[in-house]
Structure 1
């Protein structure tokens, strides 16, 4: 019965790691119930030796009955037995659960449908683990279903799985392996604990099987400890860390990289929740709303939009102005504005990227914040913007229509980066880009035509009930359904623009928010994605293909330079100031459907941001080597500290005069003082003997268990050719130890420190230089103590395994 119990415990241990996916704990208790049901059936099957092929079907039936009783008990017969109505009810709840998973981002509410899906999945994992471990006796293979369950929160959770959760899950798997080993061993008899000598003695013979019995546990515990400690201890040695998915070192606080959400993948789920809390507030010198950008995604591989970025130590925003906006001509008219931003303190987790209007020319903020020169994203590996107030100065370009129409081609470095498309992009999408734009038009005119295709002519509708932006999803959105939300609109326009030869990327951030008494409030409903297109001489300009107002994303606005009804100044040139619509009809509308904040503060372990600190690679490697050497010196430092402590003990005792017999003392001392002095002297002798014992161990010399102190002194003097002083010193130490063991007092200890020093020198002179270096840096006595500590811990687990709930009945022979 040990294996079914271990299988259930392992499933429960791994299921605990699902906690980041849910709000509240109702899901856990429901999953715990289904694990207990599966484990109970497994225990009964083993107890009554049912056929192995019968137990898994019985467990599945039990899981079905349990789910019926918990979720549709009102439709079942006597609340347990499934009926047609209960089966239909479960099917309906499953459909609801699948729909809710598509709608919500983690952590999801523990509603009935999602809880049913989770409980059913955990139940199936529990059945599979019990089948592999208890029925097929393939305990090692249980790691596959357990790993499948563990990877769900690792791939979906908004934060990295905590180290203790990994330890608990790993211990659960090790428990299955240990239980399997115990089951096999018990066929040969009862396991006996290994008893170990309390001090260093001669090595055990190779035939001793005690160490072999514990080797599996040692390997398992060592693997868990190394998996937890090594990533935290070893420095990062990437010579040129880059900003891309799949690489990083967690949150990276204090390090050279951080991790942020995969913004565009999680945007739809985050827009779906009904929360509408304030993310930040801002005021501007010109009282106009501005989009606030967090991320700039520049790579489309056919499956997802990702980004590359890099910060440099010389570009700290506190040390000067921001880098120049890419592609912006110094002679271009600009409007300079100052925006004061206050980030809310209610945002969960760190906020490692600054929401900023584009393009920022100067930022005044506390902390270590770095810009990426190509995108002007600003981030920090040390600080969080939660609760911070900062001031941003922007130099917003004011191009005319003629300027944009006459813009020359982008330079090769821009085209190479921002025109890349996958070779397998569907041909229907390439054809569509050319169909909706007129031949002979300038790139600016084609960009306007693309925007109007999405907002007016294409028959698109705004809806959150869609997903995806990869190749098939884009084809579905552009060719067939034409229903989506800002993710699809922004990604699709950027792809179509690249097909036409217009450099494009996707921005993620917030719209301008809503005005309240002269202050703009940006709420979670204002999360948004939009495309940015490049025009040489002007730089990157925002476009808005997503429907706005009540029929779309309510707080989104169409840029003034893209409107056909712009105010002109003597021709077709757009005016440098916004029209009246920008402060009236285009103010953000809060009547939009339920949305959720993009939550840039949450770490999905997906996108790492690399920060070039300007430290040479050789110096980083050197620092790593120094850290490793310091860690390697820990055993030597511990041995030195123990030796110093013992030296103080027998040095103090040597200063005390030897107590005279009571009848010879002129003034007899009180009995308590004499006893305390005697105990102190005995402790000093014991410390000196322990130090000699450790010295023998460190130099590779053994002390036989049957040797008396006097026999040991005689053997060492003869075997290692001690001189007269060392031999006499060893004899005095042996005499002091014998008096401590068999006489009332150890006698005179005045020469004990010097005697021990002479013996140590004699022992050191009898071994090689390499052995002396090892004794100083990696003393075997310290390593043996660490080993004995681990062995005692393993013995404790052995004792727990030998516990019996009831004593077996005695049988009379």
Structure 2
């Protein structure tokens, strides 16, 4: 005899329906999956200096989520329910680790929001690894790690697509290299690769073990040949070892790859980039590590106030360089224009400077002085004639490793010329005098009040400088960096009298504009330290901002409103220029204090993430968290709707097929309604069984909790079922089955389905609609065909539904 079948594909290319493995085997899969995901997440250690605070909770979470998911799947819990429970558990673990309480109370969510906001700020301000004194980025890493674990378990466990889970591992493994530019330690790659290969081996070992089917049991495994041998394991191990070794060793021969067998950091971990001068200054002031950036060699006076960029445009409480249109002929190395607004009779002294920029400093702005007469640098650096700052004309050209020379000019200002200077607004571009119409009246009023006793414009400028440094009660606070750029930060700064250099410079510049004095803000370096004879070093901690004000005849002049704790000296031409004491605008402690070293001995203070009093906005959850919660709810909604959508799509495909597909659809309906399909029986026996669970079709409102069942409850559906069974038997067993009226058969399927759904309660029907069980069983209707050897007994071969095709 030969075993035949009427359709489908051979088993070698077929899809094997998923069966429940023994619980120990399922837990073994889960543990291997959890350890593989955790080993991959070890590549994130480079992102924080205290990685153990993240890695150990993630190890516990990975084991709990993967093992719990395996147990729930073994108990036949619907996939969507498994995922939902895992998300809830992951959320509780996250809150417990970050906020100390796994339950989402108002206090817990507020605490989590504060830690989340602090972590986002640290990720913006600090290069990896984030130093210990900074607010930790643990919340971000925990959220990312939990998402990786959940995605890995869903793909490898719930969907049983272990090979596709490699994409999840690859994304997690690549993330730190993308952020830092460094390669990952070889042992992390080895552990992750070995874990992934173990996952693939376990899955396919199970598949091989389920080939074929044992006879004499409906619940037997439909695919078991029992071919597990030591040879298979040995071959798999050998192939995996060769593949892993090749992945480790071959990149060493390829110059474009950077996988190293030796531990240590690669280039770029100390790198500082400057493209947006103000934004990058805020970040770099909070980096923690004092990175040397620029070296200057010059004879004579110590260089100071090395300028990078000039900010001319003020809008929305933010200063920016504005739009720049620079002609091609305005290049470094060409003849520079005269000093803008400076009388030729004003005495001046030139000083030569040679500059060497560190490889760690990647800036598209060239460090020079505020007044220069010559710059010898590559011609791709161009200058703006109205600001005399130099910017790269190519996006990929930066200062990293650059050496060049420039000639700076020191002017000998005259007090009489300064006091007699005429208004300068008509002599410069309007952008240097523009004041936004929506500027707070408080700024104008304070500027007028502070300078009321100063008789000249220059003395008004000096009065503003002294008010910020001494009389106004301001203090320098580096932690105020995190508040810079907010919509109301200038008003808040004037109220709180605490801030850092950008806020002092920006506020003095706009107050000067309200007095009719053109003003702008410069960003650069403050004061260097000596590193040898006539050689000076500017570092990340020296980044600074200051205002420049314009006076006809004297040009653009630098002022220093930042208190002495940060900037100990003021320009010599602003000392002793006031004719009388300043008015006391508001009480406050003096912010000058004694003169301090120009370079701090400790890193700037990290932002305070405690629960102390603050602005009213502190009690509101951060926008990022709100968006994250909303996105999470949308994902949950999609997960809830997805099973129903997939089930309906499968139903449409089957109704468009032949009798086999229609019979599979009836099987899925019965499975969704909670009935155990009678595997291994003939179509007529299965039809008789289906008839026993028929209910009386009618209005849904008439549905009872325990309906009466039987063929007699739905005579029309019973006739339709008989027609379907007859068509299926002819299709499978008749030598010439003939053509079937598929339209009529589809109508019969609809009638049978109505009778089946009438035989269950509302609760069961809702579960079948939203969480259809048949999706987990994945019946594809493919059958296995095999011919027995001579002398052997006939072999019954089942489809995925356990239905015997034909024995000949």
Normalised by the shorter chain, which TM-score bucket?
A: 0.3 to 0.5
Give the TM-score of the pair, scaled to structure 2: 0.47
Give the TM-score of the pair, scaled to structure 1: 0.47
